[in-house]
Amino acid sequence: MLKKPRTVMLIDMQSFYASVEKAKVPKYKNEPLVVAGDPSRRSGIILAACPIAKSFGVETGEVLWQALQKCPEAVVVQPHMQEYIEVSSHITQIVESFTDLVECYSIDEMFADLTNSMHLFADNAVDMAKQIQQKIYNETGIYARAGIGENKILSKLCCDMIAKKIDGGVYYLRKDELSNFIWKQPIRKMWGIGSRMEKHLYKMGIITIGDLANTPLSKLRKKWGVNGEVIWRVANGLDDSPVTLTTHNQQREIGNGMTLPRDYSEARDIEVVLLDISTEVCRRARQKGYHGSVVSVGISGADFDIRTGFHRQMKLPDPTNITQEVFAIAKRLFYQNWNGLPVRRVGVSLSDLSDSNTYQISIFENSKEHLRAVDRVMDEIKDRFGEISILRASSLTSAGQAMDRAAKIGGHYR
């Protein structure tokens, strides 16, 4: 019996954060709107720009003042992360009303396998995608684009390189059309290729996606191992992975970082931030049932023109999610590597994660159990009364950031 060919859709929300803001405030409909952080706290980065703002050359990721030079009349809106999460959840529910196989890829992208439900709604995948697109627009005011193919790779390439560029925003890419639509594109436009990989590929004479697709696999495997095969398979539209609800459930790392509201030059002030972030990282690890064996610290210097700072990590003999243990390692890494120059960004992460229900107990040391009990009590108080219901005294100093961060989601105000 022949296996039924799959039909997979990648649906993407156009300028998602900006679109949510425009849907909420109709008077912004024809205005060049950007969503950006708070410039007074040096977090004024463009998180999203509507198509009108983009027509002036505004780009996601650039600093706000540069964007305003390109488009002085831009409407600047600070992010409302809780709203974006709620709208994203609503959109997911809409797509789930058409198929039970929906895999969230990011807050504004999701894969959907239409193979076994398409016959209930439409004669073909494009018509079904248009129904989904229309329902999303009717209920949220958000314009969605959809790329369709026989697997996740093809649907992603189709969405990024075709559906986003055409009127209607929906296209079905067949595998035999790769050479017509995808292979002529510059290699940097391919999913998974960053600037560093682009430079390596250029040195090999690989300029387009088609060049990569037609490079002998053995040559790529010899240079990059399994990663070489991954990018070759993407270029050739090969992907056997299913659309599942649990693909992104397993975390590899739990971390947090923040851009400081001012340059921090005193070590004791930076220690306060390290403790605040370590507390948050360990609390999240405990909530998710993980502990980690690797603690990493990243520090960025205050000079934007000359890149300074470091990123270092330490492997622990036993995994942990105890706040004081992680903070002690983070502090040690900081003092071992800090050059004494002002700091503008601090990050801490916990990786090499494993199940926190299993850990080594020493009969010669009970201090860890005491520290676990302290963390447990603090977690219970925060769960019941809120994140800032109990804080360490250092968090209340001028250097502390715990209270400000408690008002945010993903580093942005709710």
Dihedrals phi, psi of 174, to nearest 5 degrees: -85, 155
DSSP state letters, 331-350: HHHHHHH--SS-EEEEEEEE
Residues 248-271, mean pLDDT to the nearest whole number: 83
| 3-class DSSP assignment, residue 396 | helix
At residue 163 the predicted structure's pLDDT band, cuts being 50, 70 and 90, is: very high
At residue 262 the predicted structure's pLDDT band, cuts being 50, 70 and 90, is: confident
- Phi/psi region, residue 309 (left: phi>0; alpha: psi -120 to 50; beta: rest), is left
Buried (b) or exposed (e) across 95-126, using 16+ Cβ within 10 A? beebbebbbbeebbbbbbbbbebbeeebeebb
Contact, 85 vs 408, CB < 8 A? no
Rounded CA separation 324/330 (Å) = 10
Residues 193-217, mean pLDDT to the nearest whole number: 93
Q: pLDDT tens digits for 267-302?
A: 999 999 999 999 999 999 999 899 999 999 999 887
Nearest to 271 by CA among 210, 178, 217, 335: 335
* pLDDT reported for residue 313: 92
- What is the layout of strands, in order, in the sheet containing 253-264? 253-264, 343-355, 290-301, 309-320
Q: Does domain 180-235 have CATH number 1.10.150.20?
A: yes
Rounded CA separation 136/169 (Å) = 13
- Residue 12 among known ligand-binding residues: yes
- Residue 379 among known ligand-binding residues: no
**For the chain, domain boundaries:** 1-173, 180-235, 253-413
Rounded CA separation 362/372 (Å) = 14
Choose the catalytic residue: 109, 150, 271, 280.
109
Note the CATH architecture for domain 1-173: 2-Layer Sandwich (3.30)
* pLDDT reported for residue 337: 93
Count the neighbouring beta carbons within 10 Å of the beta carbon of residue 130: 16
Superfamily for domain range 253-413: DNA polymerase, Y-family, little finger domain (3.30.1490.100)
Structure tokens at 137: 């627009």
Residues 352-366, mean pLDDT to the nearest whole number: 69
At residue 192 the predicted structure's pLDDT band, cuts being 50, 70 and 90, is: confident
Q: How many helices (H) and strands (E) does the chain have?
A: 15, 14
| 3-class DSSP assignment, residue 408 | strand
Catalytic annotation on 62? no
Q: pLDDT tens digits for 105-160?
A: 889 999 999 999 999 999 999 999 999 999 999 999 999 999 999 999 999 999 99
DSSP state letters, 134-154: HHHHHHH---EEEEEESSHHH
Calculated CA dihedral for residues 142, 148, 151, 157, nearest 10 degrees? -80
Structure tokens at 27: 């008077």
Q: pLDDT tens digits for 38-61?
A: 666 555 789 999 999 999 999 998
Q: Which amino acid is at 209?
A: I
Alpha helices by DSSP H, listed for 71-225, are: 81-96, 125-140, 152-161, 178-181, 195-203, 209-213, 217-224
Dihedrals phi, psi of 187, to nearest 5 degrees: -60, -30
Which pTM value belongs to this model?
0.71
Contact, 9 vs 136, CB < 8 A? no
CA 141, 145, 146: angle at the middle one, nearest 5? 130
Nearest to 107 by CA among 17, 169, 36: 17
